[in-house]
Structure 1
Amino acid sequence: MIRIVAAVLLVLAFCGSAQASTAQCLANRPGVSISFGVTLGDKFSESDQNEFNLMRLRRMGVDATRAEMWGGCIRAFVRTPSGEEMQFFHPQSFERVYM
């Protein structure tokens, strides 16, 4: 019985840690969030949303070359002095997320 319980706890621990990395981007940030909108026409396509995210990151001073949604986060490829690296950002607040 103890072996079964230990095995179940081990599996749950691994499943929880695998989901923890994306949970940072899917959770709402503390504070007040108000949203409203009017829809005229079609929704944004995935490529339109990626272009918008790239433009927003660049306006914030992030030297990104490409941005896309990945696991609930915005994955951006950013130029750094040592080359290009992947960085992750929260899709609502555009805060940098460290995984």
Structure 2
Amino acid sequence: MTMKSWVPAVLALAVFSVPAMATPFCNDDRGGVSITFGVGGPRSSSEFDQNQLDLMQLRRMGVDASSVERWNGCLRAFVRSPSGGEIMEYYDPNTFRQVF
């Protein structure tokens, strides 16, 4: 057996034997239009303001988040853990329910 004949089989085995990482996906269907101009630089103030509003809402609900951002249609929150570190948690942007 030549190297060329077994390489594709080994690659296929490696790809299909590794479990897929679960990525949360939320359906943020609030609509609206967002237009941003510029190259690089800091985030827009409207994005910053939205993140701060989301952070305040999660805190009102008892989530000890240090920061929140919109990611993959979800709210990605960095939440303080009881051990003192931080963990990432995902929340639906419409209901603020945790997404697993």
Call closer, same or farther: CA 1:51–1:7 in 2, change over 3 Å: same
Match in the other structure for 1:32: none
SS at match of 2:22: helix
Call closer, same or farther: CA 1:36–1:53 in 2, change over 3 Å: closer
- Unpaired segments ≥5 residues, structure 2: 35-44
Summarize the alignment of residues 14-53 of structure 1 with structure 2, pairs less than 5 Å apart: 14=18, 17=20, 20-22=21-23, 24=24, 26-28=25-27, 43=34, 45-53=46-54
Summarize the alignment of residues 3-82 of structure 1 with structure 2, pairs less than 5 Å apart: 4-5=8-9, 7-8=11-12, 10-11=14-15, 14=18, 17=20, 20-22=21-23, 24=24, 26-28=25-27, 43=34, 45-82=46-83
Contact preservation (8 Å) 1:77, 1:84: no
Structure number with higher helix proportion: 1
| TM-score normalised by L of structure 1 | 0.54
| TM-score normalised by L of structure 2 | 0.53
- Unpaired segments ≥5 residues, structure 1: 29-34
RMSD: 3.5
How many residues are paired up? 85
Q: Percent identity?
A: 42
Call closer, same or farther: CA 1:61–1:71 in 2, change over 3 Å: same
Cα offset, 1:74, TM superposition: 2.4
